[in-house]
Amino acid sequence: MTNYKKNKNTSRTPHYKISNIIFENKNNKRIKFKILIKIILYILVVSILGAFISNISITYRYGGLIKRIQNVEKNGDTIILDYTKIIKEVAPSLVTISDSKDKLLEKKYFDNNITGVVIDSNGIILTNYSAIKNKSQIFVNLYKTMEEPIEAKLLVFDESIDLAIIKISVEEELEAVKIAEINDIKEGQGIVILGNAINSDYVGSVIPGIITSRDEKILNKDNREYSLLQVSAVINNKNTGGVICNSNGEVIALANLTITKEKNENGLYYGLEISGLQDMVNSTNSFKSILGIKEGGIIVDKMSEFTGFYIDELVKNGSAYKAGIKPTDIIVKIDGHQVINVEDIIYILQSKKKDDILECSILSDGELKEVEIKVTE
């Protein structure tokens, strides 16, 4: 009889049971592996689908703007890297406006201070009407000047679009802002907002951003349409009334906090496009030339609700001079229409031709008198 040595490592478990255990073990591992693969695939599919749907949504909502931004990027106008060039170009045309000489002389920010923009070298300045409408006096401090603040006169105002045009008398020509070509203004274009309500020798507020829309309009009291510029750059108390510029330091719009608050769109800010405002300035200069008025502006007495156009200086041998009007006289009515704004005068003159007669009511030395002024142009 053959003797076999007993192997110590030999299991006493029957072979069929061992094979079953091994089989079950392998089976469980395969099931778990398959589940894991399914979970991973599910996550991948959901992620890809989510990204695809998100991309479709973004393209649908902002596709047009994205394309415009891409086009502008090719021209290198989206990102502005050097703001010093823009500041150097624009800063001399920014002024600080206040209701007090003393505040301006302190060269720091006060709540009533606001930025103004020199639009014409003869001393015509644009700003927000809401900031000056309750001021009994308006003073202007020029950029980097040793002179005292200059008192300004209100030429034109339009509360419905929050615009005021004021005028200061200067011996030397001021440096007016350069205006951007309207066809060069694009959505997605890089811009910067500059303001100087601080009345400092440096520009007190520089905020970058991009143009987000040019589609919105605003109507004034006469239903005339003005274009609004929507931007991403913040407009606040220290830069409202200031300029929205392109990378060349050319002005695109006048920053306006009042309109921004009225729009109430979180993260979006508004300015009045400068092209439409320039037409108003040109019309103001035109009417003064027609009547032979060198200096003057609208005056408003809120207590008595009296308004009129105050004559400060006349062109010698001009129409108003020949009609007997003198400095300090106030034009109260033209052809029976109350003079509330310079636009009222411009509107009347649009229907007139050379040598037509204007029937004017003039307040002179406390007395109301009627005079006739001949249209010369």
- 272-285 residue pLDDT tens: 999 878 767 776 67
* Structure-token match 């008198």, residue found: 369
Measured torsion, CA atoms of residues 65, 69, 72, 74, in degrees rounded to the nearest 10:
-130
Cβ-count burial of 78 within 10 angstroms (0-12 exposed, 13-18 middle, 19+ buried)?
Answer: buried
CATH 3.40.50.740 fits 75-290, yes or no: no
Tell me which range, 141-145, 277-281, 345-349, is most confidently predicted by mean pLDDT.
141-145
Instruction: Please determine, for residue 327, whether its predicted confidence score (pLDDT) is greater than 60.
Output: yes
| Per-residue model confidence (pLDDT) at position 268 | 93
| Per-residue model confidence (pLDDT) at position 26 | 55
| Per-residue model confidence (pLDDT) at position 67 | 53
Determine the Cα–Cα distance for residues 332 and 342; give it in Å rounded to an integer: 11
Q: Which two tokens stand for residue 130?
A: 């809401």
Name 187's Cβ contacts closer than 8 Å, sequence gap at least 6: 65, 68, 69, 72, 211, 212, 213, 214
Of 318, 337, 319, 326, residue with least CA distance to 296: 326
Instruction: Please determine, for residue 117, whether its predicted confidence score (pLDDT) is greater than 90.
Output: yes
Determine the Cα–Cα distance for residues 248 and 236; give it in Å rounded to an integer: 23
| Per-residue model confidence (pLDDT) at position 62 | 46
Integer-rounded Cα Rg, in Å, for the chain is 35
- Describe the crossing of helices 274-291 and 342-350 by its angle, rounded to 10 degrees: 70
pTM here? 0.66
Determine the Cα–Cα distance for residues 211 and 370; give it in Å rounded to an integer: 51
Residues of the chain by 3-state class (helix, strand, coil), percent to 5: 35, 30, 40
CATH code: domain 292-374 is: 2.30.42.10
120 with 93: CB under 8 angstroms?
no
Lowest mean pLDDT among 13-17, 237-241, 290-294: 13-17
312 with 344: CB under 8 angstroms?
no
pLDDT confidence bin for 58, thresholds 50/70/90: very low
Q: Which two tokens stand for residue 74?
A: 């090719």
Determine the Cα–Cα distance for residues 140 and 104; give it in Å rounded to an integer: 8
Question: Reduced to 3 states, what is the DSSP secondary structure of residue 371?
Answer: strand
